[in-house]
Amino acid sequence: MKPEDLFEIATWGQLASDPVRPRLYFVEQQPDKKANRMRQRLMVMDLDHGTVRPLTAGSQDYRPEVSPDGRWLAFLSRRSGSAQLWRMRLDGGEPEQMSFIQGGVKDLAWASDHSGWVVVAHIEHGLLEREHTAAEPSPDAPDIEWGRYYNRDVKHITHQWYKLDGAGFFDEGRDQLVWVSAGGHMELLTSGFHNYGEPRFSPAGDALYALRRDYDPEDGRPSDTVVERWSWPGRERTTLELPRWAIGGLSVSSNGESLAFLASQPDQDHGYGLTSLYRWDLAEGRLVDLSSALDQWVSDECGTDVPAPSSARPQFEGERVWALLSSQGRVMAASFTEGQVERFRDMPRAVYDFALTARGVALALADPVHPSGIALVGPDGQERIAWAPTPWSAPEDRPVAPEEFWAVESDGTRVHTWYLRPRTGTNHPVILEIHGGPMAMYGYRYFHEFQCLVSAGYAVVYTNPRGSTGYGREFCAAIKGEWGDKDYRDVLAGLEQALERWPGLDTTRLGVAGGSYGGFMVNWIISHDQRFAAAVTMRSVVNRFSAMGSSDMGWLRVPQYGTKPWWEEPAPYWQQSPLKYVSNVNTPLLIEHQEKDFRLPVEQGEQLYSALKYLGRTVEMLLYPDESHGMSRGGKPWHRVYRLHSIQGWFDRFLQT
C-alpha cells in the first residue's frame, strides 16, 4: 500500500431516497490527480438489485435531493464556476441550472408543492446579484473606482470573531435565504447581520423552518442558534421559544407537528459536553431530550483521513427519530422515542450517513479495511453491502485489520487500544499515533496513514485516552484545562501494554505522531519522556498563551482554564504550553504546519522550530501553502500524498536502522 493509492479510493455518501422508485441517490467522491482536487459525481443504486451506476458526468456535483413528487432531482454543482442549484428530470433529460447567485449556494430545500426551493446563499451588502467576476475598471475610470478595485482585499475588522479555519477571514457577506422558483425567479427572503441555514419545509407546505445564528455576538457565544418559523407562503416570522444552544441537523416530522435537532450546551460544558438529540412539540411548546438516558454522543465522532461526503441529520419515522450514535469506537444508526433508544446494527464499524427507504434502511459506512460503502438492511434484517472502488485486488495488497484490547492505566482507567502490525516478519519498529480534538475518537474506520506505515514495515498503536468522545461525559471532561496529565498516562499505558502483549516488536525503535491536539501530545511526550527515537508533530499547539489570541477560537477557551483571561493570569495557559518544556526535547522532530491554519496558526509551529534550532536539536519543518487545519483529510490531494511520504521518510531515517 502506497500513499498514491489515495487517488484510487472512492467514498460514497450524502444519501437521498427516492419517494417513488426503489432507488437511492448519493455522491461518489474521489481525488483527481490532474485537477488536484476532489471529483464528485451523482450516483444511483437500484435497491432491488444492489447495482450502482453514475447519474451525472459533472466533476463537482453533490448534495442531491429528490422533489416530493419524485419527478425531479435537485443538486448543487460547480459547473458554472461557483456552487449553484441545478435540477434534472428523473425520467430522462439533461441537468439545467436554476440559480445564478453571486457568492454561490450552500444548501437547498424543496418546497412541499415542488414549485421551487429555498436555498442558502452567501449574500454581500444585502444585494441579490447575478453571478459574475470582478472586472477591472475601464482605462478612463475615475481614480475612486481603481481604488475600490485594488483595495477590495483590505480587511476592516471590528468584531471579536473575525476568522474561521477553512473559511478564512469573514467578509461583509452573510448566509441568507433565497427563494428560487421552478420558473427561475429569485427572491431574497432575509437580510441583515444574521446568518441563516438549514431551511426545512413542513410536509403540508404551510411552514418553513430555518436556523438563525446572530453574527459574532459580543457576549462571546458565536454558536448560539435560534429556530425561526415562517408561515408559507405568507412569510410571517416567529422565533421558537427554545434555548440558545449550538443547534444543527434540523428536521420536521411527517405530520408537521414536531421538530428534531441536535444540540450541545457550550456554556455548561465548555466544549467537553455531549451532543444530544431533542424533539420539540410545536403545539405544546415542549422540549424533550430523546437521548437523556445515554451518556454518549448523538453524532459521528469517529475520525479518518479518508472522509466521505455526508449530509446525515435526524430523520423521523412516525414517532421515532433516527440519528447517528457514537459509542466506544463504533458509530451506528439508532432510533429514539421518549425514554427509549434502539441501536440498529451495532457492529465494529462506523456509519456516517443513512436514509430511510421503502426497501429498508440504507447505511453509508466504513470499517478498518474498507474506506466506504453502502449497506441496505431490509425489513427481514438481511444486509447487502456494496463497497466503493479501491485499488486493492490481491489479498496481500489489502488493508490489515487491527487487533484491539483495553489497556489499564495505573489509576484503573480502561483505555481502548488498537494495534496494527505487518502481516509478515518480526522485530518491527512501533509508531504511537494520537488523534486530534481531543473531543474525537479513533474507531472502527479506515486510516490510510496507518495502512501506509504498516505496509512500510511499522507496527501502529493507537488509543482513545481520556478526553476522547464515545466513552461518556466524565471520561471526556477529565482533562479539561489539564492536558498532558491523565491523557499522557493513558496513551503511554496503551503503548506499553501493547508492547507487552506482542513481544515480537522492537521496543528500542519507537516513534510517535499526531496532529492538532495529537500534535500537542507529541510535543508534550517528547518533552517529558526520552524513549522515542523519532517524532512527527502536525498542526500542533506549542504556546497556549499566544494561541489564545491568534487562534480563530482561542478566546473561547478561557473558561477551560479558569475565570481570568490569559494576560491577567498567564500561569494556567503557560503550564499547558509544550514550549515551556522545550529544553527537554532531544527526540528528532519533524514539524508539519499549514500556512492558512487559523485554528492553530503557523506561528505555533515556527515557535517550536525556532526554539529547537536555537538549542541545536534535530528538527525540520514542512509548511504547506494555501492549506488549512484540516489538510490531512480535506486538503489538496497531492499535498496529502506528499505528507504521507514525508511522515514515512522521517521514520525511515531514524527507525529503520
pLDDT (0 to 100) of residue 10 = 97
Task: Please answer whether residues 554 and 615 qualify as being in contact, where contact means their C-beta atoms are separated by less than 8 angstroms.
Answer: no
Distances (CA, A) of 235 to 128, 179, 190, 209, 276: 18, 11, 11, 11, 30
DSSP 8-state assignment for residue 317 = E
Mean predicted confidence (pLDDT) in 65-82? 95
pLDDT (0 to 100) of residue 331 = 98
Confidence at 394, pLDDT banded by 50, 70, 90: confident
Residue ranges of E strands in 531-595: 534-538, 589-594
- All structural domains of the chain: 400-655 (3.40.50.1820)
Q: What is the pTM of this model?
A: 0.94
Question: What sign does the dihedral 605-609-612-617 (CA atoms) show?
Answer: positive
Strands 505-515 and 428-434: parallel
Mean predicted confidence (pLDDT) in 53-65? 94
Task: Please answer whether residues 354 and 333 qualify as being in contact, where contact means their C-beta atoms are separated by less than 8 angstroms.
Answer: yes
In DSSP terms, 605 is beta-bridged to none
Amino acid at 339: G
The grid coordinates of residue 189 equal 427572503
Q: Show the CA angle centred on residue 380, arms to residues 375 and 381, nearest 5°.
A: 45
Plot region of 81 (φ>0 → left; ψ -120 to 50 → alpha; else → beta): left
The grid coordinates of residue 35 equal 485537477
Q: Give per-residue pLDDT as tens, 264-308.
A: 876 666 778 899 999 999 999 999 999 999 999 999 999 999 999
Cα distance between residue 104 and residue 63, in whole Å: 14
Does residue 233 register a pLDDT over 60?
yes
pLDDT (0 to 100) of residue 267 = 62
The grid coordinates of residue 280 equal 420539540
Q: What would the 3-class secondary structure string for 263-313 be?
A: EECHHHHCCCCCCEEEEEECCCCEEEECCCCCCCECCCCECCCCCCCCCCC
Cα distance between residue 549 and residue 533, in whole Å: 34
CA neighbor of 324 nearest in space, from 288, 371, 364, 376: 364
pLDDT (0 to 100) of residue 266 = 67
- Dihedral Cα 646, 651, 653, 654, nearest 10 deg: 150
CA neighbor of 55 nearest in space, from 109, 102, 19, 18: 18
Cα distance between residue 640 and residue 634, in whole Å: 8
Does residue 217 register a pLDDT over 70?
no
Task: Please answer whether residues 400 and 393 qualify as being in contact, where contact means their C-beta atoms are separated by less than 8 angstroms.
Answer: no
Percent of the chain with pLDDT over 70: 98
Q: Give per-residue pLDDT as tens, 126-184.
A: 888 888 766 788 889 898 888 888 888 888 888 888 898 988 888 888 999 999 999 98
Q: Give per-residue pLDDT as tens, 92-132.
A: 889 999 999 998 999 999 999 999 999 999 998 788 888 87
CA neighbor of 240 nearest in space, from 226, 256, 222: 226
pLDDT (0 to 100) of residue 58 = 79
- DSSP letter string, 70-111: SSEEEEEE-TTSS-EEEEEETTS---EE---BTT-EEEEEE-
In DSSP terms, 119 is beta-bridged to 108, 178
In DSSP terms, 26 is beta-bridged to 43
Cα distance between residue 340 and residue 330, in whole Å: 20
Confidence at 220, pLDDT banded by 50, 70, 90: low
- Which phi and psi (to 5°) does residue 479 adopt? -110, 10
The grid coordinates of residue 545 equal 498563551
Buried b (16+ CB within 10 A) or exposed e, 269-297: bbbbbbbbbbbbebeeeeebebbeebebb
Cα distance between residue 438 and residue 256, in whole Å: 38
Other CB atoms within a 10 A radius of the CB of residue 194 amount to 16
DSSP 8-state assignment for residue 543 = -
pLDDT (0 to 100) of residue 41 = 97
Q: Give per-residue pLDDT as tens, 498-524.
A: 999 988 899 999 999 999 999 999 999
DSSP 8-state assignment for residue 513 = E
Amino acid at 307: P
Task: Please answer whether residues 227 and 213 qualify as being in contact, where contact means their C-beta atoms are separated by less than 8 angstroms.
Answer: no
Strand order in the sheet with 226-231: 194-201, 207-214, 226-231, 237-239
Mean predicted confidence (pLDDT) in 29-46? 96
